[in-house]
Structures are given as structure tokens and as C-alpha cells.
Amino acid sequence: MPALLEVADLVTAYGKIEALKGVTLEVAEGGITCLLGPNGAGKTTLMYSIAGILKPRRGSIRLRGEELGGCAPHEAVSRGIALVPENRLVFPSMSVIDNLEAGAYRRQGGRTGRGEIDADLQRMFGRFPRLKERSAQLAGTLSGGEQQMLAVARALMSRPKLLLMDEPSLGLAPLVVEEIFRIVSELHRDGTTVFLVEQNAHMALKVAQHFYLMEQGRVSFSGDPGSLAEDEVIRRAYLGSAK
Amino acid sequence: MLADLVQNTLDGLAAGSAYALLAVGFTLIFGVLRRVNLCYGPAIMLGCYAATFVHLSFGAGLLVLALVCVLASVLAGGYVERLCFAPHRKGSGIAAMVASFALWMQLEEVAILALPKHLYPFPALYDGKPIDLAGFTIRVEALVMLGAASVVCAALWWVLYRTRFGIAARAVIDSPLAAELSGISVPRVSMGVFALASAIGGLAGFLVSASFEQVTPMLGMWSTFKGLLAMMLGGLGSLPGAVAGALVLGLVEAHSQWFLGPQLRDLLAFLMLFMLLAIGPRWMTTR
């Protein structure tokens, strides 16, 4: 598969401290790519750099060959990148439906007709029936799992080419985590490209086709699920010692 | 006694509706920037000075003056935003607040240089007789203020809850980071909200000037204080709270002025704020 996203030699720093020390990786079009790594490895920094929240110091980020590095976050959304951020970050005092409208912000008032956005809203309600039941409710009153669904749906409302997900299972009950991963694989089946940051390697192994491991701002492993399970160090750190 | 109570309540609601406009503008700016804009009032004062200047030079009518007030307040507000808040968007809130204080001094000096007398007359909102209704005198300008404030609040609600800009504005108020990730340009929306708040403030300034029939450089400080006080009474950051806080402030002032005298009026308003802060600081942070 051709690469949808190519990150090359990316360096992002907070002041003098380099959180990313030259990261190079690819995300295949139409696939699920998973990024593993301990806390503080720079995973969220990488996500924020791709989404335009953080400005990389060096290196390049290309989406279908077009350079993205350094563009503003709303520009990145226009180019087809949507991030479901860590801790969900829904708009707590806005209703569920207004959260979704905000996700479609760049498509409104322009060439996209209102009808198309309404159709997408209905599609989201079809995929996430709980959100439909609660469409008038304030997002801050939803449960953690429902907020995660809302964050995913909000990101999808921008019709992204690439969906970035930063630890979607964080702090959620096992059953809810399973539902999140079911949705990730459904999205994959529908042709969405997903780049997933995850600590839950067991769940990620069930859905992802390619894995990267990041440690201290560098990519230290790249491979398919088979080679991931064979790697002694990774197995011990992320899958428990049992083979 | 009862007649006094009713009369004071009417006057209090009229003053409160002007405060409500100021407080709503303040709250919008506080909401998108999380910064206190001390120069909010002085920008409005400059707008009213621009209108006075137009009135003195061309003898323009009330509607034109209202328009000049609003436009000049938006321009002055934009100047404040560019100079005080845009450079400190991700930086220090204290730096932005101090900068807005510096601009306050600057705008006051500009007003005094342009129109050096301390006091200028402003055309009256209404110079006919008050309406007599069941023994109560109702000042027409009070009715105009109440009506204008209601219309502006309804229009603002419509903008915030029924338009694309409103969704973006509320998103920025809720979470700037999530708004950016949703494709909303936070600097641009913040500027739009700033302009909207300045326009509302300009209208409030026009109503106040026309009902006092004068402008002085003190209007700047007056607007900042009344707006800030009403916003804080209403619980900091909530628009309905700001309106409620403003009406309470207007009512308390009107009644205390009548029963306790003008010296105690302002004292009581600040005492009320002090008690709120002392009794329940959590009031300030809940929305």
C-alpha cells in the first residue's frame, strides 16, 4: 500500500528539550498503524506536531506527498487530518449535536451543502446510537465512553483522510475499550486510514497491521504484528511475559 | 413607601440593563481570552467621544451617533486586542492585563487631547415628558434602555446558538485546544468575539451617554467598573449570570441611593461583591 503520511527526521522541541529527536515513520493508506511506547516517549508530541498544534523544528510531514509541517491546526484539518486527542476534549458545555457541528466547522458555509453535513450527522447517529439518544444533552454530562465516542464522531465530521487517535482507551472500562476498538476496525473496513497511539498492545494487536515503538523521542522498532510478538523486549514490556 | 419601592425598581432595572450590556461584553471577552480587559470601558469611552465629536462638528442625529459610537468602539476595541491580547495569547495573562491598563491611560489621554473640556453635552435620548402610568412616572429613556438591552441579548443568543460563528465562539470558550483541532481558527474567532463585545459595549456607552446627556473621560473607568462588578456578581464567565448580576447591581444601587444616600450606594455594591467572595469563592468559578 502507498504511504498516506510520511514523517521524516522530525524534531519537535519544548524550549531546549527535544521531545522528538528525528522521528521517521509512514502510515499506509487504508490501514491501521499503531504507535506504542512508554509515557514520555513523545507519542502525543508527535500527534500534536502532525495536527499542527506544535511547530516542528526540523524535518518534514507529508500527506500524499504534500508538505504539512508548520501549518496551522485549522489548515491541517482542511488538508484532511483529524485528531481525536488524549482525554477526549469534547466541548463540555455544548450539546452533543453542537459538538458534531463544530467538527464540521470547516465544511460549513463553503462549498459543502447543508444537506451533506446533515447526512453525515445521520451517519454518525447510525454508527453511535447513544449519541443520537443524547443529542440535546451537554457533552460534559456524558460518561467517559460516550465522550470518547463523541470525540471520534466529531473528528469524523471533518471527513478526514487520516484519523489520528491518541490513546482512545485511556481510563475506560474494558467493555468500553472493546467497543472503541470495534469502531476502529469498522472505520478501517469503511476505508478510513487510522494512526493510533495505544498503550493497550493486546487490543491494538487485534486491529493494527503495522506497529512502531517509540522510546525517548526516537522510533526503536518497526514491524508487523508477527514480528512484534516475536520481539523479546517488546513482548515482556507490552504483552506480559507469557508467549 | 410602596410607590418609592416600585419607582426605584423601575429605575434600577433601567440602569441594570445598561450594566447588562457592559457585563455581557466583558463576559464574552473573558470567555474567549481568559483575560481581564481593563481597557474595555476606555475603548467605549473613546467611541462616545468620537460620537460627541461628530455631534459637535456636524450636529448629527441620534441614530448616526449610535452608529458612530458602535463603530468607533469596535475600532478602539480592535486596537486594544491587537496591542494587548494578540501578542500574549499563549503567554502571560498578567502581562496582557497590565498592557490593557497602559492602553486605558493612553485612550484617556487621546480623548482629553481631542476634546479638552472635562464635560461635553450629549443629545438626550428623549426630551419629552415622562409617561404617567397609574401614579408612577416612567422615564421613556429607561424604557428604551430596557428594550435595547432585551433586543441585544436576544440577538446575541441567536448568534451564539443558531449560527456557524456562534458554534465556533462557544467552542473557543469551552476549549481552545479542541477548537483548534476541530478546524476553528482560534485567533480569528477571538477577534470576531472581541469585535462583537466592543459593538455591544459601544451601544451601552451610547445609551448611557444619551441618558446622562453628557460625556466625560470618567465614562471609561465607570464602564469597566460596572461591567466587571456585574460580571463577577453573576459568577464570572456565564452570560445569563452576567445579565442577572447586572440587574441585581442596578436594583441594589437604585434602592440604596434612595434609602441610604448616594455615598453609600457604591459602598453597598462593593460590599455585596466582598461578601460573595468571602462566603463562597466557588461561586466565582462555576459557570
DSSP letters spanning B126-161: --SPPEEETTEEE-HHHHHHHHHHHHHHHHHHHHHH
Using CB atoms, pick whichever of A77, A91, A109 lies closest to residue B175: A91
Residue B285 has pLDDT above 70, yes or no: no
Mean residue pLDDT across chain A: 92
Residue range B203-220: average pLDDT? 93
Alpha-carbon distance A200 to nearest alpha carbon in chain B (angstroms): 24
Residue B238: closest CA among chain A residues belongs to which residue? A93
What domains, with CATH codes, occur in chain B?
2-285 (1.10.3470)
Report the residue of B89, B162, B172, B182 to disrupt the A interface, i.e. the one with the largest count of A CBs within 10 Å. Answer: B182
Give residue-wise pLDDT tens across range A109-127: 666 678 899 999 999 999 9
Residues 6+ apart with CB under 8 A from B175: A89, A91, A92
In this structure, what C-alpha cell is assigned to residue A20?
522528538
Minimal CA separation from B157 to chain A, in Å: 14
Task: Identify the domain containing residue A16 by its residue range.
Answer: 3-92+159-238
Q: Which residues of B touch A90 (CB under 8 A)?
A: 178
User: What integer pLDDT is reported at residue A243 of this predicted model?
Assistant: 47
How many A-B residue pairs are in contact by the CB < 8 A criterion?
69
CATH number at residue A42: 3.40.50.300
Closest alpha carbon to A69 in A154, A9, A16: A9
3-state DSSP assignment of residue B239: helix
Question: Can you tell me the ipTM of this complex?
Answer: 0.92
For residue B140, the model assigns a pLDDT of: 85
pLDDT tens digits for range A38-59:
889 999 999 999 999 999 999 9
Tell whether A61 is covered by a domain.
yes
Could you tell me if residue A9 is inside a domain? yes
Residue closest to A76 by CA, chosen among A101, A92, A100, A56: A56
Distance in Å, alpha carbon of B171 to nearest chain A alpha carbon: 6
Across the interface, which of A53, A72, A105 has its CB nearest the CB of B167? A105
A143 or A108, which is more confident? A143
CB < 8 Å to B184, chain A: 74, 102, 105
Phi, psi of A34 (to 5 degrees): -120, 135
CB contact under 8 A, A158 and B182: yes
The nearest CA of chain B is from the CA of A140 a distance in Å of 10
Per-residue pLDDT band at A134 (split at 50, 70, 90):
very high
What are the residues facing A8 on neighbouring strands? A60
Which residues of B are less than 8 Å from A102 in CB distance? 167-168, 171, 179, 182, 184
Give backbone dihedrals phi and psi of A51, rounded to 5 degrees, phi first: -80, -5
Q: Which tops the pLDDT comparison, A69 or B65?
A: B65
Q: What is the mean pLDDT of residues B223-228?
A: 93
- Rounded to 10 deg, the angle between the A114-127 and A96-103 helix axes is 120
Whether A97 has a pLDDT exceeding 50, the answer reads: yes
Provide the strand spans (E) within chain B. Answer: 120-121, 131-133, 136-138, 214-215
> CA B195, CA A96: separation in Å to the nearest integer?
28
Q: Using the predicted structure, report yes or no on whether residue B257 has a pLDDT greater than 70.
A: yes
Contact B181 A102 (CB under 8 A): no
Answer whether residue B287 shows pLDDT above 50: no
Q: What is the pLDDT of residue B236?
A: 80
B181 vs A85, A101, A108: nearest CB: A85
Decide if A133 is inside a domain: no
**Which one of B172, B175, B181 would you mutate to disrupt binding with A, by most A Cβ within 10 Å of its Cβ?**
B181
Q: Is A229 within the bounds of a domain? A: yes
Cβ separation A105–B177 shorter than 8 A: no
Computed over every residue of chain B, the mean pLDDT equals: 90
- Structurally, chain A folds into a number of domains equal to 1
Residues of B within 8 A of A93 (CB-CB) are: 170, 173-174, 287
Nearest CA in chain A to B185: A74
Tell whether the model's pLDDT for residue B134 goes beyond 90.
Answer: no
A218 part of a folded domain: yes
Distance from CA of B175 to the nearest CA of A (A): 6
Using 50, 70 and 90 to split pLDDT, how confident is the model at A241? low
* CA distances (Å), origin A175, targets A133, A138, A145, A153, A206: 20, 24, 10, 19, 15
Average pLDDT value for residue range B50-76: 94
Name which of B202, B272, B198, B271 is nearest B234 in CA terms.
B272
Does residue A144 sit within a domain? no
% residues pLDDT > 90 (chain A): 80
Residue A23 lies in a domain: yes
- B170 contact residues in A (CB cutoff 8 A): 91, 93-94, 98
Instruction: Measure in Å the smallest separation between the Cα of A90 and chain B Cα atoms.
Output: 7
Q: Percent of chain B having pLDDT more than 90? A: 64
Task: Check pLDDT > 80 for residue B65.
Answer: yes
Confidence (pLDDT) at B284: 58
Mean pLDDT to the nearest integer, A93-119: 88
- Closest partner residue to B167 among A74, A98, A158, by Cβ? A98
Q: Which residue has the cell 449560527?
A: B163
Range scoring the smallest mean pLDDT among A221-235, B74-88, B269-283: B269-283
Residues of A in contact with B171 (CB under 8 A): 91, 94, 102, 105
Among A106-120, A147-161, A177-191, B166-180, whose mean pLDDT is lowest? A106-120
Chain A residues whose beta carbon lies within 8 Å of the beta carbon of residue B238: none
- The DSSP line for chain B is -HHHHHHHHHHHHHHHHHHHHHHHHHHHHHHHH-S--TTHHHHHHHHHHHHHHHHHHH---HHHHHHHHHHHHHHHHHHHIIIIIGGGSSS-HHHHHHHHHHHHHHHHHHHHHHS-SS-EE---S--SPPEEETTEEE-HHHHHHHHHHHHHHHHHHHHHHHSHHHHHHHHHHH-HHHHHHTT--HHHHHHHHHHHHHHHHHHHHHHHHHHHTEE-THHHHHHHHHHHHHHHHTTSS-HHHHHHHHHHHHHHHHHHHHHH-HHHHHHHHHHHHHHHHHH-THHHH--
Looking at the predicted structure, is the pLDDT value of residue B93 above 90? no
What does the pLDDT average to over A203-228?
92
Examine residue A124 and state whether it is found in any structural domain, yes or no.
Answer: no
CA distances from A23 to A43, A53, A76, B191 (A): 10, 17, 19, 36
The SS3 call for residue A103 is helix
- A231 alpha carbon, distance to own chain's centre: 25
Which residues in chain B are closer than 8 Å to A106, comparing Cβ atoms? 183
